[in-house]
Each structure stands twice: as structure tokens, then as C-alpha cells.
Copies of this chain bind each other. A is one copy, B any other.
Amino acid sequence: MNHYQQDQMMLISQLFPASAHAYTDTVSQQVEKKPRRKRNKKSKGGENTANEMNKKRKLSEKQMILLEQHFGNEHKLESERKDKLAMELGLDPRQVAVWFQNRRARWKNKKLEEEYTNLKKFHESTMLEKCLLETEVLKLREQLSEAEKEIQRLREHVEVVPTNSSSTSSMSQSMEVMEPPPFFDEFEVDNVYNDNVFLMPYFNGIEWTYI
């Protein structure tokens, strides 16, 4: 399995978590061929790479809270507010600026994620509604067909039909603007997905051709 396939699996599993579960399991077993980790017994000697006591940080809880508070009020940071905040926090103004920059960048990603999940849910419900509508259309067509048959049958039993006998023909013409063929002619618009709606929802992804 290459990464593109893996990517698609991820994508599909997000829409259909249940179905992807089994797949994932079989896959992970496949990958299980070789022992992934070997005991290396690296020494704990302190001569590790460049990192002794010199750098890195971790802001305190209080600092984080204050920063988040200010960020919630305003994502941008003017010089004045920066200096004031740095003073309050006991931090270098540079640090405050960096914090805000990073916070903005990561907020973007977080928001994207949230929007994705929202869109996904909305899309799923839309798909369901569409499905229901499709069945309804079929049902209505069936009923309409029955009705037309009934009308035909009734007309054969009617001897005299002097007045407006064109009511049925007028009704099928009245809606011609929206959907020209009245009956089982065109289902193509939906038939693209009718049969595989729940199997392959993403049809227009460029790199989705492997599934």
C-alpha cells in the first residue's frame, strides 16, 4: 500500500468510519510483517545533542491564560499592547509577538479542522436527504404511472367526454419548463451517483483513482 491509497483510506474513513475500520485492521496486519523496533540501548550519557539547559521555555499557566484572554479579544497585537502584555507577564516583548504569531497560525488550522467536520456533518445529512428525495421521486413516478394507467383505463370506460378532456395533457405540459420529460426518461442527472452514492462519494478528486 502506498501513501496515496493510505490517504484515500483516511478520507473515506472520515465519512464512513465504520466501514473503514475493518479495512484499517486488515491493513495494519499486513504492515505487521517486520518487528518495528529494536532495542538500541542507547546510553543515557549527558553528552546529548545541543540541548543542555540553555533554551526552551514553556510558559506558565498564568501567562498562558492571560495570553489566551488577550488573543480572544483580538488576534492582532499592536506594539502598545504587546509591551504592556510583556510587562504584565514578565516576558520579552519579542516572545509575546512570537506567541501571537504562532497562535494565529495555529488558530487557522484549528478553524479549518472545525469547519471540515461541520461541513462533513452537513454533507452527510444532505446526502441522506438527497437519498430520501430520490426514493420519493421513484415512488411518485410509480404512483404517477399508476395514476396515468388508471386514467387510461377510466377513459376507455367513458363513452362520452364532451368537455375538457385535455386536463391531463395540460398538466404534463405545465411543468415542462422545469423538467421537460415527464416520465421515466431522464434520470441521468442523478444516475451518476444513484448506484454508488455510499460507496464512492468523492468522484472529482484528482488523486482518488485508486480505490
A22 to chain B: which residues have CB within 8 Å?
A: none
- How near does chain B come to A68, taking the closest CB pair, in angstroms? 13
Known: A135-B179, A139-B209. A121 touches B204 (CB 8 A): yes
Q: Which listed residue (B7, B115, B184, B204) contacts A188, Cβ 8 A?
A: B115
A157 to chain B: which residues have CB within 8 Å?
A: 158, 160-161
- How near does chain B come to A205, taking the closest CB pair, in angstroms? 5
User: What's the number of copies of this chain in the assembled complex?
Assistant: 2
The 5 tightest CB contacts between A and B, nearest first, are: A146-B171, A143-B171, A147-B147, A140-B140, A133-B133
Among A182-211, those with CB < 8 Å from B are 182, 184, 187-193, 195, 198-206, 208-211
A residues near B, CB below 8 A?
3, 7, 10-11, 14, 31, 36-38, 40-44, 46, 48-55, 72, 74-75, 78-79, 92, 94, 109, 111-116, 118-130, 132-144, 146-151, 153-155, 157-158, 160-161, 167-168, 171-172, 174-175, 178-179, 181-182, 184, 187-193, 195, 198-206, 208-211
Known: A143-B182, A147-B147, A190-B129. A175 touches B136 (CB 8 A): yes
Please classify the interface of chain A as helix (H, G, I), strand (E, B), loop, or mixed, using the class held by over half of its residues: helix
A203 to chain B: which residues have CB within 8 Å?
A: 122, 128
Known: A49-B54, A50-B31, A94-B49. A118 touches B40 (CB 8 A): no
- How near does chain B come to A76, taking the closest CB pair, in angstroms? 9
A143-B182, A146-B167, A150-B151 known; 6 other A-B pairs, CB under 8 Å? A7-B111, A119-B120, A125-B181, A135-B178, A137-B137, A147-B151
Q: Which listed residue (B7, B40, B128) contacts A50, Cβ 8 A?
A: B40
By the criterion CB–CB under 8 Å, are B112 and A112 in contact? yes
In whole angstroms, what is the CA distance A49 to B41 when docked?
Answer: 8
Q: Which listed residue (B115, B168, B172) contacts A11, Cβ 8 A?
A: B115
In whole angstroms, what is the CA distance A49 to B42 when docked?
Answer: 8
By the criterion CB–CB under 8 Å, are B42 and A178 in contact? no
